[in-house]
A and B are shown apart, each in its own frame.
Chain A
């Protein structure tokens, strides 16, 4: 099955078709996430190198594209050179969900080209490929083992000529072609310049884990997502997780016409000004046990009043445990679940990928028309992001896409220094978030008590006073007065500030303590 492509982007194509030419047809790969990275799929009749070290996933990817093609009316030929035997390759594929034995030897043919290459060189191989494509009326050709063909070329020029002639042949016939190769030691090989696209797979260690990454280094005729994207190989075959920042990079202001919505805690709504704006993202920071999860549950429960759909994305507490907590607090989450208004998306611990989490989250948002999301918590996304420096842009892109869908989001973030005055979001993250709410423990009135403060509210004029709160039988109850801090606790803060390096952002008076709206010192 082929679909028509949108006009190519002038920023990334280096061979624009004439303006009066019809758009080049797309050939969807059927690989989850990959067609999005490619801007809709491969281009019909294009020649693409699929490059990566042994074990990177080239053979699975090549086969997966073949099986998708034949399942949608295409015909494919898979030609191997010095690769694993067809029988074993197919046996290894049988456990994958895309595998279907029915088209093999019918619409999907596997042949070996090595003997022809060995006896007749690359000219003979080209002749074999031409005949195979014509005899089988192929719309897709995979040549597995391009480096072997290169070994038989008399010169780089001869190899370039082979690629060029193959490229010409398949483009005229309209047979999309994948050339699988381990690559060469050179950063740029002659074949790279001849093809329409270059897709590179890697499998590299990152600390104790290994991550697979795919990058489109070249793609003529179409815009595509640049940079690296993680992918996984499992029962579904190859699944690509486009990088969230690449998917949702365009800015927009979907909040312009938004209405305020309740956090589920009336007193907090007043502290924020009028609650939070629909489509906004709020970060709730605090140490363990401060009440972040409960605040999140109350936020979700507020959706019950308007029969809106809600989603809890958690990393650390199971849905059963959250349900027990909400039952104890009398929150209507069980009823919401029974009515199909609440979904728990629990990310059980393991080697998660943040982009995959976002893809699943957005799929649930769209499928169930979710209006409220709680992500409990940011530390789970932080662990899944692989490259920590991505976090601000990742968070911004995710928040922007949720904003566009008018989903109001609350993210919890565990802070590990409860006594520090420097509870703050990850550097660079705050600018992407509409609201920052801080929970902490303070010593006051002879007891260690919880308190809450609105550090930032982008859309309303917040009440910045720090208030006590308790977790009662019905959840968080915020007191009306602001806290009066214990003198010994304040002295401890002074010692912390004296020990910390001086910063230009530190206020000259009160050494780092934000101004108190109630005048207390």
Chain B
């Protein structure tokens, strides 16, 4: 069973994704901000991260940079989700996959599988 960490400031979305992805067979961990997300990564083995870009405090870009800079997580697949324009998402370095909000469950599953495959 793969472990997925979802980092997103929208708590309602977190609850929804938890239920959805647990049904898909993932073990789901959640964090509502970037700092807490990095704390979880420091103590829990995670197979893939679903990371929101726009968050208060430490935003998604900063979290992604921290993940890549840490030798323990440098190769960790990260799927970035955001309502940002494709150009912005495409310019991100270090993301294994990008998913534009709003997304369907099918699109989410496909993006996670793509991230895990890399």
B54 contacts A101, C-beta separation under 8 Å: no
Q: Which residue of B has the minimal Cβ distance to A109?
A: B54
CA A475 – CA B84 in complex, angstroms? 63
CA A87 – CA B11 in complex, angstroms? 13
Indicate whether A104 sits within 8 Å of B84 (C-beta atoms), given known contacts A85-B13, A86-B101, A90-B101: yes
Indicate whether A113 sits within 8 Å of B82 (C-beta atoms), given known contacts A85-B12, A86-B101, A102-B88: no
Interface residues of A (CB under 8 A from B): 85-88, 90-91, 101-106, 109-116, 128, 131-132
CA A88 – CA B101 in complex, angstroms? 8
CA A326 – CA B82 in complex, angstroms? 59
Find residues 45-89 in chain B having any chain A CB closer than 8 Å to their own CB. Answer: 53-57, 59, 82-88
Q: How far is the CB of A158 from chain B (nearest CB, A)?
A: 22
A105 contacts B56, C-beta separation under 8 Å: no
Residues of B within 8 A of A106 (CB): 84, 88
B101 contacts A112, C-beta separation under 8 Å: no
Q: Does B10 contact A (CB under 8 A)?
A: yes
Q: Which residue of A has the minimal Cβ distance to B86?
A: A101
Interface residues of B (CB under 8 A from A): 9-13, 32, 53-57, 59, 82-88, 101-103
* Number of inter-chain CB pairs below 8 Å: 66
Q: How far is the CB of B56 from chain A (nearest CB, A)?
A: 5
Best-buried of A105, A113, A115, A128 by chain B (most CB within 10 Å): A105
CA A111 – CA B60 in complex, angstroms? 11
B82 contacts A85, C-beta separation under 8 Å: no
B102 contacts A85, C-beta separation under 8 Å: yes
> Looking at chain B's contact residues, is the secondary structure mostly helix, strand, loop, or mixed?
loop
Residues of A within 8 A of B102 (CB): 85, 87-88, 90-91
15 examples of A-B residue contacts, CB within 8 angstroms: A86-B10, A86-B83, A87-B101, A88-B102, A90-B83, A101-B86, A102-B88, A103-B85, A104-B85, A105-B83, A106-B88, A109-B54, A111-B56, A115-B9, A132-B56
A105 contacts B88, C-beta separation under 8 Å: yes
Which of A104, A113, A114, A128 has a CB less than 8 Å from the CB of B83?
Answer: A104
CA A87 – CA B12 in complex, angstroms? 12
Q: How far is the CB of B98 from chain A (nearest CB, A)?
A: 11
Residues of A within 8 A of B56 (CB): 111-113, 116, 128, 131-132
Residues of B within 8 A of A87 (CB): 13, 83, 101-103
Indicate whether A115 sits within 8 Å of B11 (C-beta atoms), given known contacts A86-B101, A102-B88: yes
A105 contacts B11, C-beta separation under 8 Å: no
Q: Which residue of A has the minimal Cβ distance to B89?
A: A105
CA A90 – CA B109 in complex, angstroms? 22
Q: How far is the CB of A183 from chain B (nearest CB, A)?
A: 23
CA A11 – CA B94 in complex, angstroms? 59
CA A249 – CA B71 in complex, angstroms? 71
Residues of B within 8 A of A113 (CB): 56
B83 contacts A115, C-beta separation under 8 Å: no
Residues of B within 8 A of A132 (CB): 56
Q: Which residue of A has the minimal Cβ distance to B85?
A: A101
Q: How far is the CB of A41 from chain B (nearest CB, A)?
A: 27
Indicate whether A131 sits within 8 Å of B13 (C-beta atoms), given known contacts A87-B83, A101-B85, A104-B88: no
A86 contacts B54, C-beta separation under 8 Å: yes
New contact pairs (4) apart from A86-B54, A90-B83, A111-B9, CB-CB < 8 Å: A87-B103, A90-B101, A101-B84, A131-B57
